[in-house]
Structure 1
Amino acid sequence: MKSQFIYYFLSLVWLTQCITDKDANQLSIQNTYFSTTVEDPYRYLENVKDAAVLSWLKTQDAHTKETLKKISGRQQLLEKIETYDKMRADAVFDVKVLSSDAYYYLKYAENHEANVLYFKKGIDGEETAIFNSQDYKSDTKNTYIINYFQPSWNGQKIAIGFTKNDEEFSEIVIYDVPSKTFHKEVIDHCWPSELGGIHWLADNSGFTYLHIPDIDTTSSNYILDTATVLYRLGSNPKDLHILFSRKTHPELELNPEDFPIVNMFGQHPNYMFGRVGGIGFKDYYYAPISELGKEKVTWKPLFKKKHKVEKFLPYQNDIYFLSAQKASNFGIYKTSLDSLNFDKPTEIVPAYSDKILKDFTITSNGLFFTTTKNGVLANLYQLRDNNIENIVLPKASGSISLSSIGTEFPDLWVETEGWTSHRHRYRYEAEKSQFTTENVTSVVSYPELQDVVVEEIEITSHDGVQVPLSIIYKKGMRKNGNNRMLLNGYGCYNWINTPMLYPYLLYWLGEGGIYAVAHVRGGGEKGEQWHKAGYKTTKPNSWKDFIACTEFLIDEGYTSSEKFAVWGGSAGGVTIGRAVTERPDLYAAVIIRVGLLNTLRSEIAPNGQNNVKEFGTVKDSLGFEALYAMDAYHHIENNVAYPAMFLTSGINDSRVAAWQPAKFAARLQAATSSDNPILLSVNFSEGHGFDRTQKSKREELADIISFALWQTGSEKYQVE
């Protein structure tokens, strides 16, 4: 099916000589997939541990840093970003409410290199600092931050996850609150911020978490054959008590790449639930909580992938669940635990025709749910006496998040967000139909966001489908083609690009530009069918939708190709990368953060086996054709005038290998016929960016905005 032919024989000395210059030489490698032969001239860059490759990456990064620092307005912008960050110095994140009078959350430390875990006894209680991450292993050169925490039910212990250098994987240490000391045991090889979290036992004697045997991103066994384990306080973390894994439960036919994660709901659950799968819908099993004491848990089927369950909650003796099985826009259903039937459940809230059911929760006051239209207009409802009641929000919202303590408690928190406003947090008292502002973080107003216009429209794509497009600009904007545009797109994993105040948006508007978001197929803005319309063999719709949005913005006079910048990141690299390789004439500047750009090789990259579920596999002909079509690297053509590009990568990236942007940059530098810069930034001490320091985020933000303004002709931002 697949054969490889290597047509070169080079000594290490010659290889080193080839790639010590800024431009990398091409080494001819061919792969034949079925009847198609594919050239891969920069395959050798995948070995980022090779000294010669590292030297080339360092040369690229040094050149990029030197270039960006010469942009005249960059330093002033960086100072402005720092000033605005200080205005939100008390900003909190990852708020967890254990009870109505126990609030836990994180804040950045004063040095912006670390973060601090805090506690409040009630929303108006005094803030108490629990632990500063800069004090963890302070004798090392590594930068640690807290990327996960979970208090025990009685609040006496806190499992705190520390990650170093943006690797995302955690070392979990148990903090004893009364004595203000850590237990000596350290639990490593876990990723609770992304995979399953931590679930404390009812008696606070231990918790469950997902153990990852191999966390080396260059290993062929990276994050494979994981297992949910039960850890008892004081025991040796190396002695794994496995509850759910491929090895212990071969009868369930798990795949190596599946994540067997166990969930528990509330402090005193009757059942625990085991999920199988990674990306997309999952198979679920359940077992009585009493099985925790047995040598092997007997897992019984709950529901299958075919039932398309997005979320579920056990309530009394029923399972309530959000599903797209009967309608792409999702409905809410229930089935009894005594007689499970996910094929013919009881309908609780029917699917809407013009918007999707996005989320729900249950409190002692009943069931609450949210909807979203085109991913940008959100509403909140309550099911009361079998009637659906619209709950009027304090202000219109682009997105809504719900949280509660549990089904036995009345507490409900509603968080709203929009393109031009940070998150607002409210407590909702259902008995009084009343919202009370409960912002843990003070809300900041920015002068750049005064008199801003938000257009939510739909445009016609290449095949006649209507694609949502959000356009944000200052009042008084004239459609004369002279406005600088920054367009964002993603379109993967059923993720909805909901309104939020992106820093890119804030500082771009501050420089007089227009910011826009293309809600392309592959995302979840219009339900499950929207995702499947930009998935595997239908993936071309993602970048063709993006191109259609680009053409609309130019044709309608919002901007011109000379003033058009685009940005995207991670899996959104597919959308942006293929848009620019298919229509390079439309854009002046392209920014891709840690982007997936070489999909033909993604299967052997970090988490590649799980990404097969979203993008496909080269092991079958249709899968290969789809991956080849979406591979931006393999669609670069010689002697084409490509726009200016700024690509970033992180050596410690646990999601997208650093060589993906590197190969794309090398190929572009060799192929382009234009003099536009192709810049590659390589962060040698960080990864994907989720757990990086605030200082590092500011530096990159200044780089991105400065680059885009430089390349779209801003007189203020020019290379000196």
Structure 2
Amino acid sequence: MAFSRQDIAHPGGRDAPASIVETLHGRPVADPYRWLEDTGSPATRRWLEEREREFREAASTWPLRERLATRIRQLVSTDLWSLPVRRGPRTFATRRDSDADHPRLLILGGDGERVLFDPASDPGGRTTLDAWEPSPNGVYVAVQTSTGGTERGELRVLSTETGLPVEEPIQGVRYSNVAWLGDGRGAAFYYVRRDDHDGRRGVWLHRLNAGPARPDILVHACTAARTVPGVRLLGDRWLVVSESHGTGHRTDLWIADLGEASPQRPSLAPIHVGEEAESEPALGPDGRLYLRTTLGAQRRRVCVTDPATPDPAHWREVVPEDPGATLDGFTVGGTARNTELVVTRTRLGVSELTAHHPHDGHTLRQLDLPGEGMASHPESETDGTVLLYYADVATQQVVLVYPPGEHRPRRWPETAPTPEPPTVRRSTTRCGSLDGTRVPVTVFSLASARAPREEPAPTILHAYGGFGRPRQFGFSATVLAWLLAGGRYAVAHVRGGGDGGREWHLSGAGRNKINAVRDLIAAGDSLVAGGYCSREQLCLSGGSAGGLLVLAAAALRPDLCAAVVASAPLADMVRFERLGLGSMWTREFGTVADADDFAALLAYSPYHRVLDGHGCRYPDVLLTGFHGDTRTDAAHPRKMCAALRGAGASALLRYEYDVGHGPRPVTRAIDLAADAHAFAAARTGLRPR
């Protein structure tokens, strides 16, 4: 890569931090606000203090702010349960009580419930419960926590009898898989981490209370750069190790029979390595290995094989690909003689649930769902009972239980209240993108409101368009509060997401990312042309990769809308590889080291489009940034805000400390959502009903 650098005077004056111009592949690229990447510098701190003052002054003028906050708080004030997990004589689950900020890990039984772990024990409210996994006999639970939103936490093992740690915690984990060895093998588990000393990434075996003399054993080291390791144990016998390459659609898989080898030295045989495919394995009660896979199926299918012969040459297709829906999840349950497959599919954001015969894939029955929403994380119990999460736009997430052979669910726990949700109307239209591609757009409004095309109304248009992830219509208190206030909410199923399978993703990724931006622009134009809203009533909204998308659309078409809300966005696509987890995302966006990738990145990079777009009148923009964000570094919204302000645009930055990209206390989530939607209401003219 041709590269040179020179410092130039910063527009702020002689005493301000220096600006930078770099020559990349023969092209000068200005970066006048790179100094804002230095989080701890006095200049950055002073700049953030000024943005905080501006934001608070502006927020105090938004008429719907307190009303939206109150409504959102009411909508989330329900007990929120996780799926129950039964291990030995104990049942475990988390519950976030209606008035609580965090979920608590509970042990449930005939004599009531007992709290095993409560993040609220941190008086500062900075600790979050990221993951947990009980041992097979229910004697221990591995609990992962992090502090301040960094998602870099610790893994501790608690005794279910005392609730106390049984040893010192393991440091430096990040949403690690934990796979406990079965009974009879001692208290030990596999987990994933990056070793603090030599930077190796892989799967480790940990033995409880082994002491310094018996350190953890590395059983699989990742050899490729930028891979994310994973580990699972199937049926207490089969060890499965995975490596996901960045965040693209490639996962390498290996399997080892622990019945034939020591847990310290498993003999890992490849399932598939080097294939542009991702697969998720499960062991059925019939002893066969089932795989949900994109190998040979853009929208995924389910195949089966003997775990002793795991390579694709021995696979047999059981549930074929559906050309119009993505197979999201599956579970294998029942008994050895009566095995059953249950799969969830998503068709333009709405889930479908079906049960299939394990030999020929014949559909045994359609399983009922409460509405047009999202079913996720199906799990099977030993008696064939299927449990999963369900939510829709108006229904808070609940746990549904399907008894063996039945198609109608019941709620778990049975004592959970069932409030009557408002009726939300959903309609789908399609718009033509610049290259003629027909892009679906889903529009939500209250059923009690007027018909969608009768009268324009303030509308939020949301998009994500990244990493092959389809949009699913789960519960959002903020969306429902917006609808109840009289607005409309639309979702653009743009390329780069997973709504149309792998090709749909790839046609909006890498050098094709501009297609996702153009799809969003076409969606905005179609809402205006269709009478859903006027341009003055349209606000684009997206977070993370979606934040990049809405900022890029506004930079390319400043007249598209009245406002933009970009939460924890990517913005500087020339520097993204050097910030946060950006180096893991080159399969999604490309790399500046490649001349053609660089040209594509620079063409839509919001930060650089605004730097070159002086004289344009941009929409009003609200950016949010989180100081502890270790994914999309908070330097992105800081620099983007500075660039917009330098171009004369109205740009506000809502900046938070002690939180990151992931989970946060409910009260802080409510404040964030209320601020973002109150801004959108003020800029689009939404008035109280």
Query: Scaled by the length of structure 2, what TM-score is found?
Result: 0.91
Residue of structure 2 aligned with 1:373, choices 342, 347, 350: 347
Q: Would you say the 8 A contact 1:368–1:383 is kept in 2?
A: no
Shift of 1:110: 7.5
Task: State the partner residue of 2:658.
Answer: 685
SS in 2 for 1:134: helix
Moved more, 324-333 or 541-550: 324-333
List aligned pairs for 1:265-304, cutoff 5 A.
265-266=234-235, 268-275=236-243, 277-280=245-248, 281-289=250-258, 293=262, 296-304=265-273
Structure 1: 5+ residue stretches without partners: 20-26, 216-220
In the alignment, the residues of structure 2 paired with residue 149 and residue 440 of structure 1 have an alpha-carbon distance, to the nearest angstrom, of 24
Shift of 1:51: 2.1
In the alignment, the residues of structure 2 paired with residue 459 and residue 443 of structure 1 have an alpha-carbon distance, to the nearest angstrom, of 41
List aligned pairs for 1:470-481, cutoff 5 A.
470-474=442-446, 475-477=449-451, 479=453
Shift of 1:174: 1.8
Shift of 1:377: 4.7
The 3 A distance-change label for structure 1 pair 596 and 444 is farther
Shift of 1:693: 0.7
Task: State the partner residue of 1:654.
Answer: 630
Residue of structure 2 aligned with 1:319, choices 289, 310, 326: 289
Q: Would you say the 8 A contact 1:279–1:493 is kept in 2?
A: yes
Q: Would you say the 8 A contact 1:91–1:107 is kept in 2?
A: yes
The 3 A distance-change label for structure 1 pair 416 and 397 is farther
Q: Would you say the 8 A contact 1:185–1:237 is kept in 2?
A: no
SS in 2 for 1:495: coil
In the alignment, the residues of structure 1 paired with residue 394 and residue 2 of structure 2 have an alpha-carbon distance, to the nearest angstrom, of 50
Q: Would you say the 8 A contact 1:113–1:143 is kept in 2?
A: no
Shift of 1:528: 1.1
The 3 A distance-change label for structure 1 pair 381 and 630 is farther
Task: State the partner residue of 1:106.
Answer: 94
1:212-255 Cα shifts (integer Å, max 9, x gaps) = 3459xxxxx9xx63232211111347964233454xx7xxxx22
Q: Which amino acid aligns with 1:243?
A: L
Task: State the partner residue of 1:494.
Answer: 468
Q: Would you say the 8 A contact 2:270–2:311 is kept in 1?
A: no
In the alignment, the residues of structure 2 paired with residue 118 and residue 594 of structure 1 have an alpha-carbon distance, to the nearest angstrom, of 32
Task: State the partner residue of 1:18.
Answer: 16
SS in 2 for 1:118: strand
Q: Would you say the 8 A contact 1:71–1:706 is kept in 2?
A: yes
Shift of 1:706: 0.7
Q: Percent identity?
A: 24
The 3 A distance-change label for structure 1 pair 307 and 648 is closer
Shift of 1:61: 2.0
Task: State the partner residue of 1:190.
Answer: 173
Q: How many residue pairs end up in the alignment? A: 676
Shift of 1:100: 9.7
Asked if residue 629 in structure 1 is aligned to residue 615 in structure 2, the reply is no
Q: Would you say the 8 A contact 1:308–1:325 is kept in 2?
A: yes
In the alignment, the residues of structure 2 paired with residue 565 and residue 441 of structure 1 have an alpha-carbon distance, to the nearest angstrom, of 40
Task: State the partner residue of 1:309.
Answer: 278
List aligned pairs for 1:49-64, cutoff 5 A.
49-64=40-55
Q: Would you say the 8 A contact 1:133–1:145 is kept in 2?
A: yes
Task: State the partner residue of 1:351.
Answer: 321
Task: State the partner residue of 1:154.
Answer: 137
Task: State the partner residue of 2:193.
Answer: 211
Asked if residue 172 in structure 1 is aligned to residue 141 in structure 2, the reply is no
Q: Would you say the 8 A contact 1:397–1:416 is kept in 2?
A: no
Q: Would you say the 8 A contact 1:373–1:526 is kept in 2?
A: no
The 3 A distance-change label for structure 1 pair 184 and 321 is closer
Moved more, 453-462 or 196-205: 196-205
Asked if residue 85 in structure 1 is aligned to residue 76 in structure 2, the reply is yes
Task: State the partner residue of 1:23.
Answer: none
Residue of structure 1 aligned with 2:364, choices 389, 408, 412: 389
SS in 2 for 1:472: strand
In the alignment, the residues of structure 2 paired with residue 503 and residue 394 of structure 1 have an alpha-carbon distance, to the nearest angstrom, of 20
Moved more, 702-711 or 256-265: 256-265
Structure 2: 5+ residue stretches without partners: none
In the alignment, the residues of structure 1 paired with residue 213 and residue 438 of structure 2 have an alpha-carbon distance, to the nearest angstrom, of 54
List aligned pairs for 1:232-631, cutoff 5 A.
232-236=207-211, 240-246=215-221, 254-266=223-235, 268-275=236-243, 277-280=245-248, 281-289=250-258, 293=262, 296-306=265-275, 308-315=277-284, 316=286, 318-343=288-313, 345-364=315-334, 365-383=339-357, 386=360, 387-405=362-380, 409-439=383-413, 442=416, 445=419, 449-450=422-423, 452-474=424-446, 475-477=449-451, 479=453, 482-631=456-605
Shift of 1:692: 1.0
In the alignment, the residues of structure 2 paired with residue 66 and residue 622 of structure 1 have an alpha-carbon distance, to the nearest angstrom, of 44
Task: State the partner residue of 1:75.
Answer: 66
In the alignment, the residues of structure 2 paired with residue 503 and residue 238 of structure 1 have an alpha-carbon distance, to the nearest angstrom, of 51
In the alignment, the residues of structure 1 paired with residue 213 and residue 120 of structure 2 have an alpha-carbon distance, to the nearest angstrom, of 26
In the alignment, the residues of structure 2 paired with residue 420 and residue 716 of structure 1 have an alpha-carbon distance, to the nearest angstrom, of 20
In the alignment, the residues of structure 2 paired with residue 130 and residue 539 of structure 1 have an alpha-carbon distance, to the nearest angstrom, of 46
SS in 2 for 1:685: coil
In the alignment, the residues of structure 1 paired with residue 427 and residue 212 of structure 2 have an alpha-carbon distance, to the nearest angstrom, of 53
In the alignment, the residues of structure 2 paired with residue 210 and residue 623 of structure 1 have an alpha-carbon distance, to the nearest angstrom, of 32
Shift of 1:184: 4.2
SS in 2 for 1:230: strand
Stretches (4+) displaced over 6 A: none
1:507-552 Cα shifts (integer Å, max 9, x gaps) = 1111100011111111111111111111101111111111111111
In the alignment, the residues of structure 2 paired with residue 485 and residue 645 of structure 1 have an alpha-carbon distance, to the nearest angstrom, of 15
Shift of 1:590: 0.6
In the alignment, the residues of structure 2 paired with residue 446 and residue 165 of structure 1 have an alpha-carbon distance, to the nearest angstrom, of 36
SS in 2 for 1:60: helix
SS in 1 for 2:165: strand
Moved more, 460-469 or 271-280: 271-280
The 3 A distance-change label for structure 1 pair 715 and 340 is closer
Q: Would you say the 8 A contact 1:402–1:412 is kept in 2?
A: no
In the alignment, the residues of structure 2 paired with residue 381 and residue 111 of structure 1 have an alpha-carbon distance, to the nearest angstrom, of 37
The 3 A distance-change label for structure 1 pair 295 and 428 is closer
The 3 A distance-change label for structure 1 pair 569 and 459 is same
In the alignment, the residues of structure 2 paired with residue 440 and residue 242 of structure 1 have an alpha-carbon distance, to the nearest angstrom, of 44
In the alignment, the residues of structure 1 paired with residue 289 and residue 68 of structure 2 have an alpha-carbon distance, to the nearest angstrom, of 52
Q: Would you say the 8 A contact 1:379–1:397 is kept in 2?
A: no
In the alignment, the residues of structure 2 paired with residue 166 and residue 238 of structure 1 have an alpha-carbon distance, to the nearest angstrom, of 33
Shift of 1:40: 1.2
RMSD: 2.8
Shift of 1:601: 0.8
Task: State the partner residue of 1:130.
Answer: 116
The 3 A distance-change label for structure 1 pair 367 and 307 is farther
SS in 1 for 2:409: strand
Q: Which amino acid aligns with 1:211?
A: R
The 3 A distance-change label for structure 1 pair 626 and 121 is farther
Asked if residue 226 in structure 1 is aligned to residue 217 in structure 2, the reply is no
Moved more, 291-300 or 305-314: 291-300
Shift of 1:462: 2.0
SS in 2 for 1:597: coil
The 3 A distance-change label for structure 1 pair 308 and 443 is farther
In the alignment, the residues of structure 1 paired with residue 476 and residue 539 of structure 2 have an alpha-carbon distance, to the nearest angstrom, of 16
SS in 2 for 1:709: helix
The 3 A distance-change label for structure 1 pair 464 and 191 is same
